[in-house]
Structure 1
Amino acid sequence: MTNDEFILRRRTVVAGAGAVAAAAALTACSTYGKGDSAAAPAPKPATAAAPGPNTAAGQPHPNALAKTADVPIGGGVISGDTVVTQPSAGSFVGLSSVCTHAGCKVADVSGGTINCACHGSKFGLDGSVVNGPATQPLAAKSVRVEGDSVMPG
């Protein structure tokens, strides 16, 4: 093989690798907007209940997502892969912390919205889209209140 043939083959391999990387990047974003016509069902709020049999008074349950007192009324907290909000006093909602636009984890709950820092999507405390580019609501996650703890449902 001549030096020119070697350079040509090397350029082909390098160009091919670049094309594969570009195709992978496009594929990662290709799910945006798919299934936009199907709205996710609204999450069912959990309401405060009496302490459960395994919860000592004043002690959070070991599997709790959050203490009810730590979830502000009109706000929420992020606990792992779950966002727990309290749209009105005593009503708790569980939502996925994964933004429906590009799969980023939402960054915070402030100003009455759940905010994704990746592309600026904002969701209401019920998971509905307030500001895009996301077009689908956050997925509902079942939660329940046990004593002073919000538990996975």
Structure 2
Amino acid sequence: MSRHGRFTPAADLLRQKIRELGEARGFSTTRLLTHWPEIVGESVAAIARPLEVRHSRGKKPEEGATLTILALGAAALRLEMEKERLRERVNACYGYNAITKIRIKQAGPESFVSDEPPAPVRPSPVPQGTIQPLANGVSDSELRLALAALAANVLSRSRP
């Protein structure tokens, strides 16, 4: 919260830190990082991420840089064939010929783990007739109901 009692958006609080981290990896603007799926398309964004932008030593920034893209396994072959199209789209984002070369690095699936939590697992329904016989021999009604609920839970999760 600011001095005047107004809340500051999280984006404003993190903007400087994000800029510093992006510049450390060679991204002069964070737009390429934050809008990657819109720039290259959803299908490419699912298998590739921008890693860094490097300017060669002795070259002037106007002469262009090398964009390194992290690609998911064998998808690197597909991206190798699409390099020129990707370069055009990235340069359209910058507004000038900022990238002259694209380098592709292969990575395993652990590099592409989503930050989104996994969808909850819905247990498959278990027919009531298979649960009742499992708890029939118990005389205490509360215990019988608890065992039936446990059996339903275990059986619903163990089904393929």
Q: Does the TM-score normalized on the shorter chain lie above 0.5?
A: no
> Which protein is bigger by CA-based radius of gyration?
2
TM-score normalised by the shorter chain: which range applies? under 0.3
Highest relative contact order (Cα 8 Å, sep 6+), 1 or 2?
1
Q: TM-score when scaled to structure 1?
A: 0.26
The structure with more helix, counted as a fraction of residues? 2
Q: TM-score when scaled to structure 2?
A: 0.25
